[in-house]
Chains A and B, each alone.
Chain A
Amino acid sequence: MSSILSVSQLNRYVKSVLESDGKLNNVYLRGEISNLTMHYTGHIYFSLKDEEQCIIKAVMFAGKAKYLKFTPKSGMKVLLRGSVTLYEKAGTYQINAEEMVPDGAGALNLAYEQLKEKLQKEGLFAAEHKKELPLFPQKIGIITSPTGAAVQDMFRILKRRYPVGEIILYPVLVQGENAAEDLTNAVKRFSELSCADVLIIGRGGGSIEDLWAFNDEALARAIYACPIPVVSAVGHETDFTICDFAADVRASTPSAAAELVSAVTHDNMLAETAMLINKMTAAMQRRWQEEWQRYERAAQARVLNTPDDITKNRRIVLDMLTARLKGAYTKKLSAEKEAFTALTAKLDTLSPLKILARGYSVTKKDGHILSSVEQAEVNDTIEVVLSDGSFDCMITGRNHHEL
């Protein structure tokens, strides 16, 4: 390289060297964003620095930037993949970012905040979409880990407060790789089967990473679409999960959720029933009392108790009516009496014993009364019952009679 080069020739050469290096073509780089410029064209220009304050310039072109799942900001730690190149005009080398994700502890938070904002904008957390919990759920669906304290806490509380309800447990993983999918499927299954009046989805407390499955977009959508009211009970007092926002009601712990779905407890119900019975009895007693008083008022009326006050004429009419009534009653009574006596006598004559006493008998075979000669054969043994005893007989012949 003895010949004299122009600056652009040098820059171009260095650029070609950089770009022909296989390692530099595909670099993974971690660092913190600074000097960020979001260009109106959609290109993003920034620098990436590390703990040692070393800096590299970086660019992400609009074509790639549009796939970003977050909005980069200065101070944000990121992980990116790209190729190293040189910007000829400035003579600076830079990294051309193809992909970029948030890095480290802030990453989860960022993804969470951004998902929350997205779903909120879509109206998934809207108050007007929230369903009310039923007062008397017959079936309570619980989506949680079958092991662990949370499920036991809920069982215990529901047993004490609301034994009338049936619990339908959908055991799931609540953390780890498949947890979010498991939870989502459970909500969908309950929606399909429609086999509960209220759902509790939750787990006991844990770190933000442990609760991560509850910050899932598909889960939030499943809860939103679920026709059954959902109580979210991801055991954490202060941190809200996406699941908490999407649910109809948020409980701070699984125990609190169990109490929420059993708002009217067994004791309340007993008390209410007792109260209603008391009210009903009181109302009926009042009614009787009223009727009784009404009757007494009527009976004590002057017209009925001071006959001198009524006209003689009326008095006579009344007397006559009374006499007629009395007569009619007596007549009716004696008629009834006679009819009764006649009936008794008739019943008496119809009594089987009375019939036998008149010389008739009953013929039985194997304990059954015979009413036709067809019911027994010659040589059969039969019993003939009279008023004071019976004969055991053998049939020696059979004759038909036309009556």
Chain B
Amino acid sequence: MNYEETISQLETTVKELESGKLSLEESIAMFEQGTKLAKTCYATLKNAEQKITLISEWEEQV
């Protein structure tokens, strides 16, 4: 899952939690899932190191 997908899932999770329509158990499960997603997002951002590839190298990989 890439960053965009992760963050949008996190957004959905937060929205659901905020809606208050879930049972307490569901809320807790959502919260746990949200925490995991947030950790993933943070890790992606924290470990981000710009990679620069030449097109020729990229073509070799393909």
Contacts and interface: CB of A to CB of B under 8 A. Distances in A.
Given A136-B3, A169-B52, A284-B27, A276 B11 contact: yes
A49 to B, nearest CB: 52
Contact of B3 (A171, A269, A280): A269
Contacts of A276: 7, 10-11, 14, 34, 38
Interface in A125-160: 135-136, 138, 141, 155, 158-159
Given A164-B44, A273-B42, A284-B31, A138 B2 contact: yes
A266 B45 contact: yes
A155 B18 contact: no
Interface in A174-201: 186, 189, 193, 195
A186 B53 CA distance: 15
Given A136-B4, A276-B10, A280-B13, A266 B48 contact: yes
A283 B11 CA distance: 13
A270 interface: yes
Q: Is the interface of A mostly helix, strand, loop or mixed?
A: helix
A186 B31 CA distance: 47
A193 B62 contact: yes
A170 B59 CA distance: 11
A280 B38 contact: yes
Contact of B50 (A158, A273, A286, A290): A158
B58 A168 contact: yes
Contacts of B20: 283, 286-287, 290
Interface string A241-277: 0000000000000000000000000100110110011
* Range, interface on chain A: 35 or more
* Range, interface on chain B: 20 to 34
Interface string A280-293: 10011011001100
- Among A169, A193, A272, A280, chain B packs the most CB atoms within 10 A around the CB of A280
Contacts of A163: 48-50
A99 B34 CA distance: 72
Nearest to A159: B50
A17 to B, nearest CB: 63
A60 B34 CA distance: 77
Contacts of B4: 135-136
Nearest to A134: B4
B45 A169 contact: no
Contacts of A193: 58-59, 62
Contacts of B53: 166-169
A158 B49 CA distance: 11
B12 to A, nearest CB: 10
A279 interface: yes
B62 to A, nearest CB: 7
A165 interface: yes
A168 B55 contact: yes
B41 A273 contact: yes
A269 B44 CA distance: 10
Interface in B1-45: 2-4, 7, 10-11, 13-14, 17-18, 20, 24, 27-28, 31, 34-35, 38, 41-42, 44-45
A168 B35 CA distance: 33
A339 B22 CA distance: 40
Contacts of B10: 273, 276, 280
Contacts of B27: 284, 287
Given A136-B4, A189-B55, A280-B35, 19 more contacts: A136-B7, A163-B50, A164-B48, A167-B50, A168-B55, A169-B52, A193-B59, A193-B62, A195-B58, A269-B3, A269-B7, A269-B41, A269-B45, A273-B38, A273-B41, A280-B17, A283-B17, A284-B17, A284-B28
Interface of A: 135-136, 138, 141, 155, 158-159, 162-171, 186, 189, 193, 195, 266, 269-270, 272-273, 276-277, 279-280, 283-284, 286-287, 290-291
18 contacts: A162-B50, A164-B44, A164-B45, A166-B51, A167-B51, A167-B52, A167-B53, A168-B54, A193-B62, A266-B45, A269-B7, A269-B45, A270-B42, A272-B7, A276-B38, A279-B14, A280-B17, A284-B27
| 5 A-B pairs closest in CB distance | A136-B4, A283-B17, A163-B48, A170-B55, A164-B48
